[in-house]
Amino acid sequence: MKRFLRFSFANVIFEGAFMTPKVLLAPMAGVTDFAFRRICREFGAEMTYTEMVSAKALSFNDKKTKTLLVTDETERPRGVQIFGSDPDIMAQAAKELSDDFDVIDINMGCPAPKITGNGEGSALLKNLPLAAEIIKTVSSECKKPVTVKIRRGFKENEDVSVRAAELAEKNGAAAITVHGRFTEQMFSGKNSLETIKNVKKAVSVPVIGNGDIFCAQDALKMFEETGCDAVMVGRGAMGNPFIFREIACLLRGEEYAPATDEEKIDAARRNVRDIVALKGEHIGILESRKIVSWFVKGMRGATEVKREANAAKTLDEMMSILDGILKK
């Protein structure tokens, strides 16, 4: 079974079901908790990933890290992303998580300085021998498909994406996600579709395109111009889980209508309720403030709503604020 999954990542088998995910939700720190993943699922995300999880923290049985792994059986197929720089610790984390997740993703793409400063995330693109050792060790110890998420490279104009992808495939990666920016760019500048295209030509495992997908047309363009096997939506889903529905419609050749303000507020209400249920009212409301700001962006009265949301302390207050925006 593992061999079949290795060579057919896009065809994920679990509990006898056969799926071909084409549109995935990217792992995003501070964003893709279970509450957010659930709402994205409702609107058509075919596969979702947890926030990135520290392999080292998991080895210490860190309680905060454990909260990032909350899921349920409605979330299938589901992936977990791990980060670290020690091959053995990474392999142990993957082994531990493989009972609960369908895919283990290795983070070699995070550009955040607090991650790269420790030689983790996209800093591994500066040390490809270590990156290859991590992938090989994790793949050999894990019973589930292991995938890798990379960037174009670390330093601008030092493109190592093809070499990194080839090493990933050689050492057991079942699929490779490519973001077409260098680490030093963070999220500035333009996402290079040419980079994704070049990686797709260089490897035989599925390639997932990522970066600057903010509408359904962006996803279609990525498919057409790179030949990628699937797309992964990140920032474009924040406050806009409807993007998954819109992409699905476009890929089927169907027309779609943009989400109405009523739909956005209803989704925001459910997302807020879920995060409060997941994390408790105090933490849930604090984290809901950014969620509300995402959903109301561009609406009439959005500035006032954001200000009110930032002062809210209870679920009832937040629900009242969301109800009020439709009356403005």
Joined together, the tokens standing for residue 137 give: 């060790």
Q: Are residues 286 and 213 in the same domain?
A: no
**Would you say residue 256 lies in a domain?**
no
Q: Are residues 233 and 270 in the same domain?
A: no
Amino acid residing at 258 = P
- Who's near 266: CB < 8 A, 6+ residues apart? none
**Domain final residue, candidates 222, 251, 280:** 251
Residues carrying an active site annotation: 110
pLDDT tens-digit series, residues 159-205: 999 999 999 999 999 999 999 999 999 999 999 999 999 999 999 99
**Would you say residue 247 lies in a domain?**
yes
Determine the Cα–Cα distance for residues 123 and 116; give it in Å rounded to an integer.
5
Least Cα distance to 259 among 275, 239, 233, 288 occurs for 239
pLDDT tens-digit series, residues 291-326: 999 999 989 889 999 999 999 999 999 999 998 887
Give residue 121's domain range: 2-251
Q: Are residues 228 and 276 in the same domain?
A: no
Q: Are residues 311 and 204 in the same domain?
A: no
CA 129, 89, 184 angle in degrees (round to 5)? 50
- Who's near 277: CB < 8 A, 6+ residues apart? 35, 284
Q: Are residues 218 and 131 in the same domain?
A: yes
Query: Residue 267: left if φ>0, alpha if ψ -120 to 50, beta else—which one?
Result: alpha
The model's pTM: 0.91
pLDDT tens-digit series, residues 53-77: 999 998 988 888 888 999 999 898 9
Least Cα distance to 111 among 40, 168, 185 occurs for 185
